[in-house]
Structure 1
Amino acid sequence: MTAERARGGLWAVVPAAGHGARFGGDVPKQYLDVAGAPLLAHTLRALLAHPAVEGAVVVLAADDAHWPGWHECAGKPLLTCVGGATRADSVLAGLAALPESVRADDFVLVHDAARPNLALADLERLLERGRNDPVGAILATPVRDTLKRAGDDGGIDATPSRERLWRALTPQLFRRLQLTRALEAAQRDGVAVTDESMAMERQGHRPLLVEGSADNLKVTTPSDLAYFAYLRSA
């Protein structure tokens, strides 16, 4: 029995209820074709490739007419539920829809539907470090570009230091109940969290940063989609 199996498997929540307004077009970006499969299929295959990941809950929009009706991927179960107007709403719905076998103190992964280029080695590293931490961890990459702060007129106001700055990626790994409470607290306070770590940080937690590949891209624009297609064909 492997160490991962001995510790038990884990489930993932994949929020896919967004319509991709920044991307444009009639078809949500997660359903656009790349190499003969929807972008979402590539994301799920990458996530479920790890032997410790037992299944996933895909969170859909109420009016989603594009969901293919999948019940499994990579030989593992897929469940679905309806999300809400915000990312936090959708992740909370996904957490509530997890199987009863996922206990309150079990770790759960949350992964963007539009991040199809997750490396198996990165996921392994996240699980190895995050599951040995009382809070959890996120994949991230250090900021290497020079940053500029823009003024209202479009001019540059400042060049802030990039020292100790990281770009947050997904998956992010937290315990089911802790994450649920953190997201609910943000909702009560009227705070729109942009990722799960932000919700946890607001509760005084300090998740670990686990360095991941810079090409774990989030498809936001048509050029991102073209880049992923290139990576697939390379």
Structure 2
Amino acid sequence: MYDLIISDIDGCLSPEDSSPLNIDKLNLVAEHNRLAFAQNDRPKLTLCTGRPIPFAEGLCRLLQNPSVPCVAENGVWLYDPSCNGYLMDPSITDKQLEMVHEAELFSLKTYRKDGVTLQPGKSASVTLYHPDPKVLQRLAPELQQQFDQHGFEFRVSLTLFYINCDLPQITKASGIDRLLEVTGIDPSRTAGIGDTSSDLAIAKRVKTFGCPSNAIDAVKQVADFVSEHEQIDGVLDFMQFLMDQ
């Protein structure tokens, strides 16, 4: 039996755009978690997301997870619901935090004219938003070049509506490493699900990796299970697949 499922949020448990959450389907995940913590007869589910920690905390509570930490901001934070703890990766330096602030101001000044805004709530990363994915696809290579020229050390990656700029040592994989260290969970008893390039880091850390049908091709190629269903229906499908093992 698996002990833990590590799930991305955007494109998996919820749409990446501003569409309403599917409360009925999320309630199925929450009921699974409630039984998992009460009976220890199925894998618990926690989160690994690029979203800011308040978003991750709220969804963690909604999904009835009282004690397993979740990974937020692509590995910057662990949120520990057992003690309401907010644990930043200790490798992040004061100098890097200053660089993040400078890069935020630079990005806003440079790309505001293109209709780009910053996703609020990030502490040690920079995330740019635009409602048109084509604009982000055009800007991402230029942004990486600009950062390199200004000495801003970031790894730049794309999702559908966001450009994520993360510190070089911080990934979802580094966040999962910390999660497994504090919980003592055996990596060979874990599963994970994701849909975009940042979730390839989840695939590298778990025993079994799945994805919904809306995942990008690079994610599908490494997945052990590719659901026929999109987003949260794909997550529920993967959960059932794991329960049937």
With normalisation by structure 2, the TM-score equals 0.33
Q: Which has the higher strand share?
A: 1
Greater share of helix: 2
TM-score where L is the length of structure 1: 0.34
